[in-house]
Structure 1
């Protein structure tokens, strides 16, 4: 495999639609960079109504993307592609993921791999017997377990769950799309994220409470699925959905951006979100909640600002000088460009696959 042009099949949640999921942007960057490195990539996506009506990239311009209507359709049309591929990657939250994984492991002559974009959520589901897209018996059969979460969780996957090889493959950013733009900020602080029960208390503590206290401040929350019961302060603007092409402009319209992490990700640590890298690539300073492993990605106080309360948030918004604000954003951008682009992930995927084949 070393130096060869690889045939890679990825069965992922979605590459054509970013509606209500963070998977599509990750897959788009990864597939593009793998194709640039000379590999043949086939992305297979289940055709479901909620993505069919919200496709912001119906025909990705890199690799080859095909939709399938059912498990039977998948087997009938793509068995030969899966059998002959050097690497077959099944992603988390793929519909009928257990059945898909069983078929892949039976069929491919290459390396079967699992890409978990939701590792802490996955392990929590397994612990309560929820096998929506992965079952414990499948884990040893995936010769490579790629995880959005790094740190100690990787050893647990190997020692307790039987993964032959578990490696971190974090989310990434596309530096061609996420760049600084010189414009007058519309908001003092913004947040981009789909509603989540376990994130909402942190959003309320770090942003909404700050907005209530600082009525002259300008705030914005973008993302779908927020219930009508959420009480938004008058100075918090709401945007229902932003397609990926609009993300960079959104970040660049903020003086600061807020990063809020799901409870499972905080407990696991070492679980950066793609929004973290996107905002940093735009040079926008980030105010974040705190979790283990964050300091391996950004240096607190120099490349990222950590908040535990509304008072912390307001201190950054109202007391940090413009020079210091810009410097934090610039340092975070430099860190991301050096370590966390889609090109870095494509190279890491190659290395992990070679190691797995060699039994290292």
Structure 2
């Protein structure tokens, strides 16, 4: 493998569409930062109609070559695999959305003396709990065959669990912020509220949204709450919760800069394992939003509770935080969070970590 300027073939969900693709900003920020460090990126994604119809990047980025392959049979994907054979690093991400199990195994055929094959688990707590509950899970046998496993987070608990399954190496590559994509912007009246939550409805998130966000709204009937994201339209909610529907990526910064405070909630598995900050935590900090987050182990590695964010154990504590925030407190928390992520948690920082894990550092 070359010592620098790697050719990286990345099989993921989508680089050009955020539709039901929560990792899209993680993909973009990290791969853009790797390109800036001299690496050549080719991103292979399936032509799933729902995603391709709702592309938010109408033109492919200049920092990656995007190859969209047919989901009619396997011929298109086979051609991509053959093309990727010349790469220095081949990445198979979780949750591609088309023939995932098949592709998990097939990419391993590309391993050679000069080509590393990496599995990138974007949902490691869920994957590990699934495999722990099913000794016959087909991915268990594949884990030791990958050169290494990267994860979106999880810290030592995830690293140790993957090593117990035979992983040669497991390295968390945490979410971060792309300062170019998430700068502070002007507030917009349509997003005015006391507390905003921006996330798509998912089974392993809904209970926690009810506990932290909707419960807080119940407790504070005179405060204004705003909910954005896919899938919440039919969900019963308190009258002081305004649902604005799916919010395009280009409007995320305005929403976060308009809300008096922003809530970030971890999914069930992420909260249980800890050390799993979602991309939206850093994106909100990047624009200088006043952050309230649910409690999870390891938060202090990323933001300092009480100075750079507020941490709540339940909906009651979320309500207390909303009620007690002063104008100075909102400003100071937001500015401190922004300083911290720009100093330590950008995708430029994460790209260096990827290089080190691949043996370049």
Question: TM-score w.r.t. structure 1 length?
Answer: 0.91
Match of 1:339 among 332, 341, 344: 344
**1:258 aligned residue (249, 254, 263):** 263
Provide the C-alpha distance between the structure 2 equivalents of 1:345 and 1:238, rounded to a whole number of angstroms.
34
Q: Among residues 103, 107, 112, which one is paired with 1:104 in the alignment?
A: 107
Check the 8 A contact 2:188/2:254 in 1, yes or no.
no
Question: Could you tell which deviates more after superposition, 195-204 or 122-131?
Answer: 122-131
Give the match for residue 197 of structure 1. Answer: 203
Q: What is the distance in 2 between the residues matched to 1:58 and 1:234?
A: 37
- The separation in 2 between residues aligned to 1:332 and 1:43, in whole angstroms, is 32
Preserved contact between residue 219 and residue 316 of structure 2 (Cα < 8 Å):
no
Distance 2:358 2:109 in 1: 19
Does the alignment pair 1:23 with 2:32? no
8 Å Cα contact 2:305/2:311 also seen in 1? yes
Q: Is residue 64 of structure 2 the alignment partner of residue 63 of structure 1?
A: yes
2:131 corresponds to which residue? 126
CA contact (8 A) 1:221 1:236 kept: yes
Following superposition, the deviation at residue 321 of structure 1 comes to 2.0
* Helix, strand or coil at the partner of 2:43: strand
Q: 1:73-92, CA deviations, whole angstroms, 9 ceiling, x for partnerless residues?
A: 24542344321111000000
Q: Which runs of 4+ in 1 moved over 6 A?
A: none
Partner residue in 1 for 2:273: 268
Q: How many residues align structurally?
A: 353
Mapping for residues 275-294 of structure 1, pairs under 5 Å:
275-294=280-299
C-alpha separation in 2, matches of 1:196 and 1:332 = 27
Of 214, 221, 228, 1:222 maps to 228
Report the equivalent of 2:252.
Answer: 247
Query: 2:184 matched to which residue of 1?
Result: 180
- The answer as to whether partners of 1:82 and 1:108 remain within 8 angstroms in 2 is no
Instruction: Measure the CA separation in 1 of the matches of 2:232 and 2:156.
Output: 32
Whole-angstrom CA distance in 2 between matches of 1:58 and 1:154: 37
Cα distance in 2 for residues equivalent to 1:166 and 1:145: 5
How far apart are residue 354 of structure 1 and its match? 0.9
Which of residues 153, 167, 171 is equivalent to 1:167?
171
Deviation of the 1:201 alpha carbon:
3.0
Query: Are the equivalent residues in 1 in contact too, given 2:9–2:41 (CA < 8 A)?
Result: yes
Deviation at 1:246, TM superposition (A): 1.3
Q: What are structure 1's unaligned runs of at least 5 residues?
A: none
Preserved CA contact (<8 Å) 1:290 1:306? yes
Give the match for residue 4 of structure 2. Answer: 4
Equivalent-residue separation in structure 2 for 1:93 and 1:114 (angstroms) = 11
Contact 2:183–2:287 (8 Å) recurs in 1: yes
What displacement does 1:123 show?
1.2
- Deviations, residues 43-75 of structure 1 (Å, cap 9, x unaligned): 000111221222112433121000111463245
Kept after mapping to 1: 8 A contact 2:292/2:310: yes
Structure 1 residues 130 and 234: alpha-carbon distance in aligned structure 2, compared to 1, 3 A threshold: farther
Distance in 1 between the 2:188 and 2:250 partners?
A: 19
* Cα distance, 1:93 vs structure 2: 1.0
Question: Aligned partners of 2:186, 2:47: CA distance in 1, in Å?
Answer: 40
* Structure 1 match to 2:311: 306
Q: Deviations over 1:246-270 (max 9, x none)?
A: 1111111111001111111111111
Contact 2:40 2:64 in 1 (8 A): yes
2:359 to 350, 354, 360: 354
Rounded Cα–Cα distance in structure 2 between residues aligned with 1:156 and 1:37: 31
Change (3 A) 1:33 1:209: same
Structure 2 unaligned blocks of 5 or more:
none
> Which position in structure 2 is the counterpart of 1:144?
148
Give, in angstroms, the shift of residue 151 of structure 1.
2.3
Distance 1:301 1:176 in 2: 27
SS at match of 1:187: coil
1:122 CA displacement: 1.1
Q: Over aligned residue pairs, what C-alpha RMSD do you find?
A: 2.1
